[in-house]
Amino acid sequence: MNATNRKATTVRLPDYMLLDLRNEARRTGVSINKLIENALEESLYRPNAETLAAIEEARSGMEMEDFDPDELNQ
């Protein structure tokens, strides 16, 4: 994401969650803001099950077929 398009916002969190965020930030050396941004990004933009299966299939080489780019023009 582009840093110039960021906007400040306020979020209400339970005390225990804010404490956990602070502890995780200290432990990992990452800001609370970045921890929240990473969690939201993972939650909002995570590939769906079908995409994950396709990625795994491609990585494993299963059912790979020869590709002839000349067939695209037919």
pLDDT at 70: 82
Bigger pLDDT: 29 vs 55: 29
Average the pLDDT over each of 8-17, 33-42, 64-73 and give the range with the smallest value: 64-73
Buried b (16+ CB within 10 A) or exposed e, 4-20: eeeeeeeeeeeeeeeee
Q: Between vectors from CA 6 to CA 30 and to CA 13, what angle results, nearest 5°?
A: 60
Domain residue ranges in the chain: 10-57
State both tokens at 21: 């965020």
For residue 21, what pLDDT is reported? 96
pLDDT value of position 63: 67
Q: What is the pTM of this model?
A: 0.59
CA angle 37, 33, 15 (to 5 degrees): 105
Is residue 32 within 8 Å of 22, Cβ to Cβ? Answer: yes
